[in-house]
Structure 1
Amino acid sequence: MSADETPWEAAVGRGLAFLHGALGPDGLPSARPGLDPELRAPLTGADARRRLLVTHGVDLGFDPDREGFSAQWGLALLRPDGERAEERELVAALARQVGRYGHPWRPRYGLFPPGVPFPADTDSTAVAVSGLARHGLLTPDQLSDYARELLDTQIGRDDGPIPNYWEDTDQTASRGRRYDAVTAANILFTLQLPGAAGMLPHPAAEATLRYVQQHLTGPRTGTRYYASPEAFLHAAARASTVVPALAAPARRAVEHVTTQFAETSLELALLVLAGEYTGATADLPGLRGRLAAAQLPDGSWPAAGYFRTGSVPLHFGSPHLTTLFAVRALRPETPPGR
């Protein structure tokens, strides 16, 4: 075994082969919606829409198919210098797939493609931009434009963190602006990318940092758009690699939980990555061994809900999304700044 190899190289290879084999004309398959966080009964988009109408009296106005967040995260997780042909082909396919989720005339990305009655959001934008930048697919000027757009969310007087949607205003009926700590951490990571960081310091970024810090010291819970606490730990830990003010609190938070039992393979992968990003004192080889042992015969890891809608209990996940996180978790990288 060479110095660059790990005991989990075979599992990584099988995972990449599964993902490569799942590629179709539109890229990787979309995550499926379900009504429970564990995604025990995935639904088609049409079935999910009908179930929500029957059980909650809410019509989404569209079938929640063709989400792009999985592809956006795929770019952010896969290696830009992958030695395997399957990985290089995956990256190329995902880059094309992510491109179809861009706003037609604004530097924004959406969870669903243009034409679906669902607004572009700052979370999808931050993850898509970080993935494209990881593979050298954005110029510094483009990064600056995306950073300016993320920061330009202050519609009216607002000293709070960057919200999920540009369309929110302080006068939004009955709910106000929508915030999420995972989204905030993802934004902070993207704002530190070369080119994007030229927009800093900025009051909106500082408010967003305080929001993440407060969540790190609060009770261990999910967030508005992420049911699992591990999703926040992963996002905060990732941001801590480029935001020094998050390094100590993120490490403390991760050290408190990484040895606890993760209920799904996705949560286990997120904990492994959080431990790697923060340098937390945890048995990462043991956790990675557990993750590798959970791989299915076809090379995938089981689906679990990763993100969710905020107003109704609709959770999204897939074997492909879990496998993307698992493959990254089984291939340690040196985080930026360490």
Structure 2
Amino acid sequence: MGNHLEGGMPTASIARDFAFKDLLPTSHVRDFIRQSYGKDIGFDLGDEGFSAMLALTHLPLSGHPNEQQLIQNLARSVEDCRWRSRFRFFPRVHAFAADTDCTALAINGLWKRGYLPAQDLHRTVAELTRSAVQMAGAQSPDLDEGGIQSGVMMVYWEDGAEPGALPRGRKHDAVACANALYTVGLVGAQLNSFDDYVVTRTLNYVRNHLASGRYLVGTRYYPSPEAFLHAASRLCGQSTRYARALEEPLRRALTHKYSIDVAASGDSLRLALLMIARSNLKIEDGQRELAETLAGWQRPDGSWPACSYYRMGRFPVYFGSPHITTVFALRAISSLRAWAASADGSAPRQPAGIDPV
């Protein structure tokens, strides 16, 4: 890993455009939204902890001497975002409620790196499934993104449990649902009847988001299709239950032509997420060329440029950083081992200092 990752995970930058060219200081975001959209979000933004959660979950290990210290630093940063069994995006902004997306990623990373006791995992899984709204009648599975579906995990709990947290409103997000499903899946078959019902309903929601093609316009919090394709593809490798629901429509989405179009976009993060999704489904066609393209976009300092990864709900305020892009680029490049072991023994150029895993 390059030096740009050794010290930890800096907070993300913020931009007013998806291309991530028009940067906005964190301290100006509240005024920008008020002046541009006539809405007061009710709090000033602070440093976020979601980047550390992403890194703890997705950063591949390479054997670098300082790697264990980096993982410890990331785990400490993630724990700083904890509120009981929930985790906050802005750990110092108590007006901004904890959410299921952060909680799922945080628990996933802490569990993966050995920083979470089993009882905490089970407690958090129960917390995630409790976010689902129960209604008298389950709504149609093809309900549009703006509606609330019975039994589907929400982004926010909306139960008033957190002191000082402003209400966020009931809403779903397909990427957050996929991340929550992955964390729930860590307990395997040890689910009670209610948890199993929530998994079924949430999995149907994710599958319908994919099969309907709605993923092509992004989600409320994730503007690029590849963020969803990546999150959904992780589920396929976790359980046959998830794979039966998602693998076929995912393969139809992850075509060679689509990958060429993403590579032509010049967006390092979109390409990295796409490559990981294809690797998760063991799609080899074109991966060599995509890896060459991604490696060619690496900067002299060993990083990849900042790109938009998530946004502030309905407002066009985008979060990203070279560190976030680089975490996913490293994960994508780790698939190079498969090419190195190919029949001809060749592989695309490897980024500086990266050992495939």
Are the equivalent residues in 1 in contact too, given 2:156–2:169 (CA < 8 A)?
A: no
2:180 maps to a residue whose letter is I
**Residue 196 to residue 107, structure 1, CA distance change in 2 (3 Å):** farther
Q: Between the two structures, name the one with larger relative contact order (CA 8 Å, sep ≥ 6).
A: 1
Are the equivalent residues in 2 in contact too, given 1:144–1:198 (CA < 8 A)?
A: no
Aligned to 1:18: 4
Moved more, 153-162 or 130-139: 153-162
Are the equivalent residues in 1 in contact too, given 2:47–2:90 (CA < 8 A)?
A: yes
Are the equivalent residues in 1 in contact too, given 2:226–2:270 (CA < 8 A)?
A: yes
**Residue 222 to residue 32, structure 1, CA distance change in 2 (3 Å):** same
Compute the displacement of 1:53 (Å).
1.4
Moved more, 240-249 or 146-155: 240-249
Aligned to 1:9: none
**Pairing 1:143–2:136 present:** no
**Residue 51 to residue 29, structure 1, CA distance change in 2 (3 Å):** same
Alignment match of 1:268 (pick from 268, 271, 274): 271
Compute the displacement of 1:32 (Å).
1.3
Are the equivalent residues in 2 in contact too, given 1:121–1:165 (CA < 8 A)?
A: yes
Are the equivalent residues in 2 in contact too, given 1:276–1:332 (CA < 8 A)?
A: yes
Post-superposition Cα deviations, 1:74-127, rounded to whole Å, max 9, x if no partner, equal 000123x54112322221110110010011xx3111111054310000000111
Moved more, 81-90 or 94-103: 81-90
User: Aligned residues, how many?
Assistant: 307
1-structure distance, mates of 2:299, 2:34: 35
1:149 maps to a residue whose letter is E
Are the equivalent residues in 2 in contact too, given 1:143–1:196 (CA < 8 A)?
A: no
Compute the displacement of 1:196 (Å).
6.2
2-structure distance, mates of 1:116, 1:159: 28
Q: Please state whether the residue corresponding to 1:33 is helix, strand or coil.
A: strand
Aligned to 1:162: 153
Moved more, 308-317 or 122-131: 308-317
2-structure distance, mates of 1:269, 1:83: 21
Are the equivalent residues in 1 in contact too, given 2:268–2:294 (CA < 8 A)?
A: yes
2-structure distance, mates of 1:196, 1:319: 35
Compute the displacement of 1:140 (Å).
1.9
Are the equivalent residues in 2 in contact too, given 1:302–1:319 (CA < 8 A)?
A: yes
Post-superposition Cα deviations, 1:54-76, rounded to whole Å, max 9, x if no partner, equal 11122223332311111000000
**Pairing 1:223–2:219 present:** yes
2:243 maps to a residue whose letter is P
**Residue 196 to residue 117, structure 1, CA distance change in 2 (3 Å):** farther
Are the equivalent residues in 2 in contact too, given 1:71–1:98 (CA < 8 A)?
A: yes
Alignment match of 2:15 (pick from 11, 26, 34): 34
Q: How is 1:86-235 mapped onto 2 (pairs within 5 angstroms)? A: 86-103=66-83, 106-157=84-135, 159-167=150-158, 177-193=170-186, 195=187, 197-199=189-191, 202-219=196-213, 220-235=216-231
Compute the displacement of 1:286 (Å).
1.2
TM-score (norm: length of structure 1)? 0.85
Q: Please state whether the residue corresponding to 1:323 is helix, strand or coil.
A: helix
Q: Please state whether the residue corresponding to 2:298 is helix, strand or coil.
A: coil
Q: Which runs of 5+ in 1 are unaligned?
A: 1-12, 170-174
Compute the displacement of 1:241 (Å).
1.2
Q: Please state whether the residue corresponding to 1:38 is helix, strand or coil.
A: coil
Aligned to 1:294: 297
Are the equivalent residues in 2 in contact too, given 1:188–1:239 (CA < 8 A)?
A: yes
1:18 maps to a residue whose letter is H
Compute the displacement of 1:18 (Å).
1.7
Q: Which runs of 5+ in 2 are unaligned?
A: 136-148, 161-167, 338-357
Alignment match of 1:331 (pick from 331, 334, 338): 334
